[in-house]
Structure 1
């Protein structure tokens, strides 16, 4: 509302609001319950002054402070105080509000909230510091001007203005913010009726307690303000305290109630009432703020638990905890579902381990025992047998909870159904193996292709170079293969290549390798004993192919030429193959269908 006003109108509005409110409250307080030295038991104008300073815009404060000072001076003089005393009191009241405002803003900025315990503590600290400064100014100034003022005046003044700020400022600030934020409009009628009923009950209980002195019933308003804090929150606690303080101070000032009936001086009665109200206020506001925090935390915890349940269900992850002191275990609902059990079914530590298949149980026990012994985090994977008999793969992560002295008191862990992951990994591994086999296999013959053959030969050469395994390599190809293709067609040529490759493989020993090197050319790798008798084995391959018939549609006979090279400190695969290839060229030059050894 004030932001839309021109600066001068805004300053005038707040100045009038300050002056009228301060003057009325000061006049009423000075003529109501009074203690010695004409100081009221509660000084509401101080709370009103501080509340408006915290609520109004910064540009309106200077004029409003001047208006409050004028109202204070007028109220004090109308009550019979000399001008000098009224001026000293006005200065003290102005300093207390200004100092409290400065401390609050310095500690909390613009975000003073009576729903936060830390902010409530900052507000109380500011009020106490400001009240002490105000009492020093009022007491010191009065002593210098009039003399005869002592410790009683200082304590009375400090508690009076402190009560005024503690009791009056919070409900005014909270009510103004509720109205400005339209929170009251959003409240249901039931909530409004309940708040009015609770505050009315607090007023009734206080009136009954302080109107009579037959029964010591001052504890009843304490119950009322606690109920207000629980049911209405911080505003209920603050408003309830304002109602209780106003009724208690007014009735005590009229000579009613248990405080007025005390066999003590008026000064002592006022001090007792002030102590009573301070004790009540120091309970109400912190209690209300703590309740707000507790409810917020409970709401967050409820929300977090709800999100946790949803997250566990979506990720197929549950959690569990073993109490090592009581030897009990707790499962989350998702953990029950992973095991195929109804949530809440009785489980024990022993039965939890026995859910795993028999072969996995020793490993699970060993990992958990080692974790308890060392205190280190753990991880394991195993298979469980669900209640429906199905076997599922699960993975657990966890850590050890330590108590005093470092003793292990619990184990907390998570359990995740990873069956799909395991099955996918197996499928991927199978696909990888198939792909790798395809990448290393010649599609026509089913033998290792050139890439795979060279890789095998590299490994064999490394072993031979280290002096561990003898090595020999043969290169052979099909004689007059071009004529076969030209006469019988490429399909027959492919069949001949396939037949030659399979015939060679059938002739070799298990430790020997034959691979298709390219076209109609093949490579044989002989290791160990085969390398020593490589010439005999290679000759057997040549003879086996020469003597066999291929098939009716193709050539009646097929022959091969072979070049053989034994390992002789060759530096590379290329050198070894080059020697075998030269021997093959010699075999072809000498008439084909024969084997020649490399020099």
Structure 2
């Protein structure tokens, strides 16, 4: 709100807010509960000033310090302190926020939050460091002893620890509209709890017949649990103010202690510090627990959504109790209603018999070795539909290395398997197209050479028999010129079909290009290659072309038997030279390579 004001107005606002508030709190503290050396049991001005410094813009802090110094001098002198003593005490009090801010800046660079345990710890460290420095300065300047040092340190530390947190949290709640957005039920509950804390504190510290100092502790813990850090801080402030005022008036169990005044003050401070050390961390831990619970709830919800989208479930087998737990998605994958009873044997029975044996074997091996596992099998759903499911997971071991559980995931991969099958079929079809001569249906040049390379390697490495026959159609150009290319294509197609007839399954005939073909003879065929090649020639020659309105044709064949050639090209070259000889000798004949 103040940031919208002009700079001078804003500076004046913070100066007056600091000066007036500090003066009133200091004056009331000095005239209410007094301890040894006229030091109040709690020094709220220190906490009030530190809270304002944390809330105001950094550029306004110099003016705030001016207001604090003026207020402190006035309150101390009005309380009866000599001017020099008042100046010494003011200097000591002015050093407190400087030290506290320095420690907080080093430990918590961002804005301090009392809902984070680490930040609460940092604030406590800063308050203690500031109170020690302040007490040391006051003791040196005032020339007093250890008792004064301890009294000042505890008084200032309590002022910061008790007053600063509720002021900061309340101002932030107002700035963020949290107070306005709170429901009536929440406001009523908060008011009732804090009022109850005040009443219990009054009841405990207004009499000394019954030792009931534990009742305010119960109220503060309840406030911490129901209202969070603000409830803890506000409850502590209420308890501290009431307890200090009543004790200062000589009422309550602490005032009834048989001992000097400083002992009573120290006991009251110890009581408040003990309660504070429980309330603030407890409230922060409750906030953390609630945040973790909310985050866990969100994570579980996102996990369920992710499993549903990805068709992935998870499961766990307890090897000690022989029980199994399934996630909701695991039930859906099996076609079952989530939450239905399931046993280890029942889950395995969902797999088809052939896959069930393999799954058992994989899990047994994984349990024995402790290694992760992965398997895929077919499950039969409750509706009879068969689905492909893939699981992988790990073995849980105890401290002695004994397997105590199995954790795994299960995914419906039916669509993936089906897509893979379709893709493989398409790949095979594409490969067949890529390796097949479209006119004849025989292997094309690339596939024929690949087949020959393998046969050549076997002949070279293992001594397997191998022979190659190259043949082409005699006077094919004349057929194209006389009858047309369509008839020529039909002739090539007919020759290809006839050439396959005399060959064994281990052999191959492929179209090398145009009217040229290659026969690759292996095994028994390669042991008598001339006989096989001659059968090919005679089969083509004997074809009755009239039946298909096709001209009768013959072929010339060049044959080469593997003779330790260095390459496939050399073997083909020998067969090609033999073909040239067959043509030169009149065609329609077979010739062996030299």
Which segment drifts farther, 550-559 or 562-571?
Answer: 550-559
Which segment drifts farther, 223-232 or 208-217?
Answer: 208-217
Structure 2 Cα separation of the partners of residues 181 and 564 of structure 1: 97
Which segment drifts farther, 301-310 or 3-12?
Answer: 3-12
Distance 1:126 1:407, change over 3 A: farther
2:275 aligned partner: 280
1:310 aligned partner: 305
Measure how far apart 1:467 and its partner are: 5.0
Residue 243 of structure 2 is aligned with which of 232, 248, 256?
248
Measure how far apart 1:7 and its partner are: 4.2
Structure 2 Cα separation of the partners of residues 518 and 140 of structure 1: 111
Measure how far apart 1:164 and its partner are: 0.8
1:115 aligned partner: 115
Structure 2 residue 128 is the aligned partner of structure 1 residue 128: yes
RMSD (Å) for aligned C-alpha atoms: 2.0
Structure 2 residue 318 is the aligned partner of structure 1 residue 327: no
Q: How does 1:45-124 map to 2 (within 5 A)?
A: 45-124=45-124
Structure 2 Cα separation of the partners of residues 9 and 407 of structure 1: 73
Which segment drifts farther, 210-219 or 116-125?
Answer: 210-219
Measure how far apart 1:138 and its partner are: 2.4
Report if aligned partners of 1:449, 1:517 keep a CA contact under 8 Å in 2. Answer: yes
Number of residue-to-residue matches in the alignment: 594
Residue by residue over 1:526-576, the C-alpha shift from the partner in whole angstroms, topping out at 9 and shown as x without a partner, is 112212211111111222222231243524632222121222232332322
Residue by residue over 1:298-335, the C-alpha shift from the partner in whole angstroms, topping out at 9 and shown as x without a partner, is 11111111110000000011111223333322211111
Structure 2 residue 591 is the aligned partner of structure 1 residue 596: yes
1:268 aligned partner: 263
Instruction: Tell me the secondary structure at the aligned position of residue 359 of structure 1.
Output: helix
Structure 2 residue 413 is the aligned partner of structure 1 residue 415: no
1:399 aligned partner: 394
1:188 aligned partner: 183
Instruction: Tell me the secondary structure at the aligned position of residue 360 of structure 1.
Output: helix
Residue by residue over 1:369-428, the C-alpha shift from the partner in whole angstroms, topping out at 9 and shown as x without a partner, is 333333332222222222222222222221233332444333222111111111111111
Report if aligned partners of 1:440, 1:449 keep a CA contact under 8 Å in 2. Answer: yes
2:364 aligned partner: 369
Structure 2 Cα separation of the partners of residues 542 and 451 of structure 1: 24
1:523 aligned partner: 518
Structure 2 residue 26 is the aligned partner of structure 1 residue 21: no
1:489 aligned partner: 484
Measure how far apart 1:274 and its partner are: 1.5
Residue 341 of structure 1 is aligned with which of 324, 336, 341?
336
1:575 aligned partner: 570
Report if aligned partners of 1:47, 1:166 keep a CA contact under 8 Å in 2. Answer: yes
2:41 aligned partner: 41
Measure how far apart 1:348 and its partner are: 2.5
Distance 1:110 1:510, change over 3 A: closer
Residue 357 of structure 1 is aligned with which of 343, 352, 357?
352
Structure 2 Cα separation of the partners of residues 418 and 329 of structure 1: 22
Structure 1 Cα separation of the partners of residues 58 and 98 of structure 2: 13
Off by >6 Å, runs of 4+ in structure 1: none
Structure 2 unpaired stretches of 5+: none
Structure 2 Cα separation of the partners of residues 466 and 405 of structure 1: 55
Instruction: Tell me the secondary structure at the aligned position of residue 440 of structure 2.
Output: coil
Measure how far apart 1:466 and its partner are: 2.6
Which segment drifts farther, 242-251 or 304-313?
Answer: 242-251
Which segment drifts farther, 527-536 or 265-274?
Answer: 265-274
Q: How does 1:374-389 map to 2 (within 5 A)?
A: 374-389=369-384
Report if aligned partners of 1:470, 1:567 keep a CA contact under 8 Å in 2. Answer: yes
Residue 451 of structure 1 is aligned with which of 446, 460, 473?
446
Residue by residue over 1:242-270, the C-alpha shift from the partner in whole angstroms, topping out at 9 and shown as x without a partner, is 11111121122223333233344433322
Measure how far apart 1:492 and its partner are: 2.8
Report if aligned partners of 1:564, 1:598 keep a CA contact under 8 Å in 2. Answer: yes
Report if aligned partners of 1:484, 1:555 keep a CA contact under 8 Å in 2. Answer: no
Task: Give the TM-score of the pair, scaled to structure 1.
Answer: 0.94
Which segment drifts farther, 342-351 or 312-321?
Answer: 342-351
Structure 1 Cα separation of the partners of residues 363 and 462 of structure 2: 48
Report if aligned partners of 1:565, 1:579 keep a CA contact under 8 Å in 2. Answer: yes
Instruction: Tell me the secondary structure at the aligned position of residue 157 of structure 2.
Output: helix
Structure 2 Cα separation of the partners of residues 101 and 530 of structure 1: 99
Measure how far apart 1:6 and its partner are: 4.5
Report if aligned partners of 1:211, 1:257 keep a CA contact under 8 Å in 2. Answer: yes
Measure how far apart 1:446 and its partner are: 1.6
Residue by residue over 1:340-383, the C-alpha shift from the partner in whole angstroms, topping out at 9 and shown as x without a partner, is 22211222333333332222233323333333333332222222
Which segment drifts farther, 12-21 or 487-496?
Answer: 487-496
Measure how far apart 1:285 and its partner are: 0.9
Structure 2 Cα separation of the partners of residues 467 and 117 of structure 1: 78
Structure 1 Cα separation of the partners of residues 400 and 105 of structure 2: 45
Structure 2 Cα separation of the partners of residues 214 and 439 of structure 1: 105
Measure how far apart 1:32 and its partner are: 0.8
Residue 425 of structure 1 is aligned with which of 420, 425, 441?
420
Report if aligned partners of 1:488, 1:554 keep a CA contact under 8 Å in 2. Answer: no
Residue 229 of structure 1 is aligned with which of 219, 224, 232?
224
Which segment drifts farther, 448-457 or 544-553?
Answer: 544-553
2:287 aligned partner: 292
Instruction: Tell me the secondary structure at the aligned position of residue 113 of structure 2.
Output: coil
Instruction: Tell me the secondary structure at the aligned position of residue 376 of structure 1.
Output: coil
Structure 2 Cα separation of the partners of residues 489 and 88 of structure 1: 124
Residue by residue over 1:165-221, the C-alpha shift from the partner in whole angstroms, topping out at 9 and shown as x without a partner, is 111000111112222233333333333333223222222222233223333222222
Report if aligned partners of 1:499, 1:550 keep a CA contact under 8 Å in 2. Answer: no
Residue 155 of structure 1 is aligned with which of 141, 150, 155?
150
Structure 2 Cα separation of the partners of residues 287 and 62 of structure 1: 35
1:176 aligned partner: 171
Instruction: Tell me the secondary structure at the aligned position of residue 338 of structure 2.
Output: coil
Structure 1 unpaired stretches of 5+: none
